[in-house]
Amino acid sequence: MDCNCVSDLLLTPPVPALWTPGFAFPDWAYKPESSPGSRQIQLWHFILELLQKEEYQGVIAWQGDYGEFVIKDPDEVARLWGIRKCKPHMNYDKLSRALRYYYNKRILHKTKGKRFTYKFNFSKVVLVNYPLLDMASSPFLLAQNHFNGGAATPDCSPVTPEALQSLFPRLPDSGRGTSLFDRGAGAPGPEGDKLRLDTFPFLGSGTPCYSKPPSMLGPYPRNPAFDYSWGFNPYLPGAFSLNNCPKLPPGSLYPSHFYPNPLQSGLSQLPHPFSSLLPPGDTAGAERGQSGGTTNGSAGSQPPRLCIPPYPGSLLQGRTELGNLVPGLGERERGEANNNVLGSGGGGGIGMGLGLGLGLGGLGLGTGGGGRQSPSDRRGGVKQDPESDSELEITDLSDCSSENENEPDFPLAKEPRLGGRPHVLEAKTGGLAGTLPPLSSLPPPVSPHPLKSLVPLTPPPPSLPPSLSPSLTLVDRHRETDSLKLAHS
DNA sequence: CCCGGAATCT
DNA sequence: AGATTCCGGG
């Protein structure tokens, strides 16, 4: 409280009246402000956040295996983290300690032999946020799950970041530079929503395939298992089903209050996946282009949200599995218990998929103008120049109470040492590579996964671009993971 | 760098 | 609980 960090501000979403705490991260993963105790963003969220922002590609980026990322600039990451947490004395050593802290939780593990390289266990990450998700139901997760032969290796049974990104995709044009600390601006205007609706007839204002989250329908216990702060609740009937879609009033498909995102400064910045369909120039935030991000994100409008009704085509046409799942929700427990889901692939739901495969891979980064403006770019600057940080918007620590630390000063603009540490993957990142975790390393498809038949192959609506064909992407990705799996064996 | 124990803080 | 801080050790 004493720390009026940017993060604090950002983590305080304009919670609409309809908002209930029902949709939030599990407690251990994220404490919304309303909840007692720590409300700070967690490190791994922050990491994901950074990874997601194109402007931080120079600092941290996906690299190597699925889920693997490299901290290209440890000091910078630490600095950003320190800023976020109002810990001026944060450094990589401490940060890495905190990362190590995740090993036990199996959210992260270290890629041995590669400095500054860690790997997300996306299965865990997903589970954390979608604890009820039956891994057996997701081709991605399933394939990934087989990765380790179902063994309970503490190591990776990672869901591909790709899969994760299908859930929480990084906006291909994230180059518009919503800053990590800019939460408000660039909210998808009505235009954007409209467009999306237009693009997806099934989402059309006339027939919004959305149903109210349980929390909206009535009170339910605040069970972490029900928390979906990333905005998309796979367990919502409307999420997966084309049927039984209670209609919302026109225009209410993306009501900001419907899926307000508590992770305001974090994953909430994840854009609507469909926004990648927006024609260039349309998007609300497009104006930012090269400005290198916003200066302050209080546009007053709603923050960008992730309201993802997964693409229905990739879902079972029926509601069945979910229908079966949902009633059992209450019995599920939280946290680690959900790890079981990983191994308990067995009989579970079938082919309900995650509604992923939005074909992001086919979309250009379109990050439009300006090229990216990695914070590390300023490494060419001078250390003593406090201004050099201003372009980051993150660096304003004036709000940071220095009660904790008697020394108020952050190591402001760090000494740019572009040549200092090895900058991995600097060249390769032409466009999309920076946005998506590397897929290129994957071997070519080998053979269809036997379970492929479980994947709904419903053809996409005609209006859908080919790249969005879920049947294609799903299968393809399935193959990818499959072949990857083979490669590992 | 990386690891993990321990004390401490919030 | 989730860090943060410190630290000895590899």
In the predicted model, is pLDDT for residue A136 greater than 60?
no
Tokens 């320190």 found at? A82
What ranges in A151-232 are assigned the alpha helix state H? 161-167, 190-199, 214-217
Domain boundaries, chain A: 38-129
In the predicted model, is pLDDT for residue A72 greater than 80?
yes
CA of A75 to C1' of C8 (A): 23
Please compute, for residue A238, the number of CA atoms within 13 A of its CA located in the half-sphere on the CB side: 23
A94 touches strand B (CB under 7 A): no
pLDDT tens by residue, A294-343: 333 333 333 332 322 222 223 233 333 333 333 333 333 333 333 333 33
How high is the pLDDT of residue A383?
34
Reading across the β-sheet that carries A60-62, which strands appear in turn?
A60-62, A68-71, A117-120, A108-110
A100 touches strand B (CB under 7 A): yes
Dist. CA A144–CA A67, nearest whole Å:
11
A44 touches strand C (CB under 7 A): yes
- Mean pLDDT for A407-424 is 42
Q: Which nucleotides of B are covered by protein (CB under 7 A)?
A: 1-6, 9-10
What is the full DSSP assignment across A97-112? HHHHHHHHHTSEEE-T
pLDDT tens by residue, A211-225: 222 222 223 333 333
What ranges in A119-275 are assigned the alpha helix state H? 122-129, 139-147, 161-167, 190-199, 214-217, 237-240
- Mean pLDDT for A411-420 is 41
Neighbours of A396 (CB within 10 A): 18
Per the CB < 8 A criterion, the answer to whether A371 and A354 are in contact is: no
Per the CB < 8 A criterion, the answer to whether A92 and A75 are in contact is: yes
pLDDT tens by residue, A47-71: 988 998 889 999 999 988 888 999 9
A7 touches strand C (CB under 7 A): no
Which residue is closest, via its CA, to the C1' of C5? A94
A93 touches strand B (CB under 7 A): yes
Dist. CA A281–CA A19, nearest whole Å:
31
| A417, amino acid identity | R
| Whether this model's pTM surpasses 0.85 | no
pLDDT tens by residue, A367-381: 333 333 444 433 333
Q: Which nucleotides of C are covered by protein (CB under 7 A)?
A: 1-7
CATH 1.10.10.10 fits domain A38-129: yes
pLDDT tens by residue, A91-129: 999 999 999 989 988 899 899 999 999 999 877 776 766
Please name the residues in contact with A269: beta carbons below 8 A apart, sequence gap of 6 or more: A49, A52, A53, A178, A180, A183, A303, A304
A43 touches strand C (CB under 7 A): yes
